[in-house]
A and B are shown apart, each in its own frame.
Chain A
Amino acid sequence: MFKKSRLIGEFFMQGDIACAEGAIAAGCRFFGGYPITPASEIAERMALRLPLLQGVFIQYEDEIASIAGILGASWAGAKSMTATSGPGISLMTENIGLGMMMEAPCVVVNVQRGGPSTGLPTSWGQSDMMQARWGSHGDYGSISLVPNSPQEFFDLTVTAFNFSEKYRLPVFLMADALVGHMTEKVVIPPVEELEIINRKYTTKKPEDYLPYDYGKDLIPDFAKAGDGYRYHTTGLTHDKRGYPDMSFECQNELVPRLVNKIKNHIDDISLTEEYDIEGADVIVISYGITSRTILPALTMAKKKGIKIGYLRLKTVWPFPEEKIRKLSEKVAGFVVPEMNLGQISLEVERCAHNDSIVKLVPHPGGGIHKFEDVLHAIEEVAHGK
């Protein structure tokens, strides 16, 4: 119908729409969602784009159905996505756990707003960061990517699909209302220039195939519904055949694998940006929109002669533990401005060497940090307080 229905070129584009375009570019052809501010534009864009591409758009009755639906679609072999905000994620968490347990590749977008509860629907926050890591019950490894601009929202949506396909799990894309509703220049390259990773399908015959058998990378090969493999998948603790097994031995093989398949690949998954890290006394660690709003404070600190470094996390989970550990041996301390009352700063504290100071610059969301507050914290750390 539309031979050239891919969007290529330079655009002045909203973050949410860039996310939808990123999903399309990554090959997403199934979207299930439920309207919620500030993520609705993603669903609206998908509703426009997917019919043109013979894809499936379905507006489900709630967020619980949305996540269940994209897991089902994933099993039919589709690259699938849902997009929501904090309250929707809270509803989805049980089935996010199912996705982790079944190892179903998909992408869950959280355009964060201020919480708790209904909180600030039209305004922003970063207070769902720990929820993304620990939201669903039980132990599992997880991946969260945090964009700070519409361009990066596009880029990281592609990356999120790649990670979900490669490591077989639901991947979180933790944007916020500012990035989602911001309109900026977005460059969409031809698909040929993008790195697109697809899940590894098994080459074994159905009779030899074990759905949860794995190799050194700890990631099982996939077989989709309708291909004659006829295997079982469950949210219960299961053996390599996918059959429920309530033994300690089985639990002890499965759950650590779910954690380690991410942990062992942290070098591949962890995306960071560094500036002036070498020889710095103070390192500011930031992510998402905060990494842009605090920049003037860094310039001010530099003018005051403070040796300041800057580490931006594009991947927040898995947390770059080793990197922080090593950096902490060389610096006086870290300053962590974030739009919550202390979440990622706790991780930095956990990983930092005993002698280094970790200073949180909190913000409850709905506004941006005052430069002076960030500058003050930088100065305090520089002076060893």
Chain B
Amino acid sequence: MANNTAQLQEKPHPMEDILRMDRMPHIWCSGCGLGSAVTSFVEGLKKAGVSYDKTAIVSGIGCTGRVAGYLRLDSYHTTHGRAIPFATGLKLANRDLTVVVFSGDGDLFAIGGNHLIHAARRNVDINVICVNNFIYGMTGGQNAPTTPLGAYSSTAPFGNYEMPFNLVGLAAASGASYVARWTTMHARRLTDSIATAAKKKGFCFIEIVSPCPTVFARKNKGGTGLDMLKEFQTRAIIDHDADPTKIPLNMDNEIVCGEFVNEDRPTFWENVQSGIKSRVEKFTDWEEMQSNSKKIHHKTFLKYTASRES
């Protein structure tokens, strides 16, 4: 037995080229869906064939916020809710990078909701992967903007009375170029989606419905991580033609998965280039403007000085 363990340890991890092995073991609970989500992400990047050296990952705060720290990429663990504007700056200042935001539902849709809709509206060329576990895991199970109506959380001891957001609906309505939803059960399809998004221009949004056995399931009699996956399996259906705005998630309805939006829209930077380029070119020659402004300004200056002296 001891011999077998030693052999196991000697075998390199199949993802050690991209995981920070010196940071293992990770902090996530057993039964959490984040391990599957990260595996699909890594497989997706491999499939897309993007260069790891040219890929940056940005996270916010929370359980999913820790993803950046475990991936050996240019990785940024930023403040709560602000991963998207940080990623926007990173991408626009170095447009050769593939920039991925990997964060949770609370981070991206509660405190960071404003940034998400505006980044989607601008169609900034970044990918946002949102792991939705319906609750705040890191802080101990408080209500999230995704907590289903009636579900229990530590700040909804009598059940949640707030309407949750439908994440894919919001992303699609805000103008995202690519919108998909999968559960952690759909490892292969999720991997494909991540690969598609990695190659696609524009704002891509992928929701990953994920089990949180430690807080969500415990408060809502959901059982173990495995039980939750089984539940996803029974409740999930795939319908690529579904209207993303009409498929909210609640405690017991169908979890409609699929690629709902896959369109080509000009990105923020393409619009900058095509939209204002001709106007920039038509802009009065700088030297002329400089000499003009000098002349005009000097005249004003002299007038001003004269008026003060008189």
Contact = CB atoms under 8 A, between A and B. Distances in A.
Contact of A51 (B53, B86, B88, B280): B280
A147 to B, nearest CB: 20
Given A2-B286, A13-B297, A232-B68, A94 B79 contact: yes
B90 A12 contact: no
30 contacts: A1-B280, A4-B286, A10-B294, A29-B93, A30-B89, A30-B92, A51-B276, A56-B92, A58-B89, A61-B85, A65-B82, A65-B84, A68-B115, A69-B85, A69-B86, A73-B92, A73-B93, A75-B90, A75-B93, A76-B91, A76-B93, A225-B94, A226-B94, A228-B53, A231-B74, A232-B69, A232-B76, A234-B77, A235-B79, A244-B69
Contacts of A233: 75-77
A64 B85 contact: yes
B174 to A, nearest CB: 12
Contacts of B88: 58, 60, 65, 69, 72
A234 B58 contact: no
Interface in B264-281: 268, 272, 276, 280-281
B293 A11 contact: yes
Given A51-B280, A233-B75, A30 B118 contact: no
Q: Which secondary structure dominates chain A's binding surface?
A: mixed
A374 to B, nearest CB: 24
What 10 A-B pairs are tightest by C-beta distance, nearest first? A72-B89, A69-B89, A65-B85, A76-B93, A76-B94, A234-B77, A73-B93, A72-B90, A12-B297, A73-B89
A368 interface: no
A57 B175 CA distance: 21
Contacts of B158: none
Given A2-B286, A95-B79, A235-B79, A76 B85 contact: no
A226 B78 contact: no
Interface string B98-134: 0000000000000000110010000000000000000
Interface string A162-192: 0000000000000000000000010000000
Contacts of A66: 85
Nearest to A9: B294
Contacts of A10: 294, 298
B108 to A, nearest CB: 13
B82 A76 contact: no
A315 B67 CA distance: 40
Given A1-B280, A72-B58, A241-B22, 13 more contacts: A11-B297, A32-B85, A56-B92, A68-B78, A69-B92, A71-B86, A72-B87, A72-B90, A76-B91, A80-B93, A230-B52, A233-B75, A243-B23
Interface of A: 1-2, 4-5, 7-13, 29-30, 32, 51-52, 56, 58, 60-62, 64-66, 68-78, 80, 94-95, 98, 102, 185, 224-236, 241, 243-244
B283 A52 contact: yes
A80 B58 CA distance: 19
A232 B20 contact: yes
Contact of B290 (A7, A95, A232): A7
Nearest to B272: A51
A95 B85 CA distance: 11
Given A69-B86, A77-B94, A230-B72, A11 B294 contact: yes
Most buried by B among A12, A52, A235, A236: A12
B interface bracket (residues with beta carbon within 8 Å of A) = 35 or more
B200 to A, nearest CB: 19
B67 to A, nearest CB: 11
Contact of B82 (A1, A73, A95, A229): A95
A241 B107 CA distance: 25
Given A61-B115, A226-B54, A232-B20, A78 B74 contact: no
Nearest to A62: B114
A169 to B, nearest CB: 16
Given A77-B94, A235-B78, A243-B69, A12 B300 contact: yes
Interface in B34-54: 52-54
Contacts of B301: 12, 185
Contact of A68 (B77, B86, B96): B86
A51 B273 CA distance: 9
B298 A72 contact: no
B59 to A, nearest CB: 9
B287 interface: yes
Interface in B183-225: none
B272 to A, nearest CB: 7
B73 A52 contact: no
Interface in B155-189: none
Contacts of A11: 293-294, 297
B114 A61 contact: yes
A236 B72 contact: no
A191 B276 CA distance: 27
A72 B297 contact: no
Nearest to B290: A7
A66 B84 CA distance: 11
Contacts of B77: 232-236, 244
Contacts of B76: 72, 75, 102, 232-234
A77 B54 contact: no
Nearest to A243: B23
B56 interface: yes
B286 A76 contact: no
Contacts of B74: 75, 225-226, 229-231
Given A56-B92, A76-B94, A234-B77, A226 B300 contact: no
Q: Which of B22, B285, B297, B298 has the most CB of A within 10 A?
A: B297
A369 to B, nearest CB: 22
A176 to B, nearest CB: 22
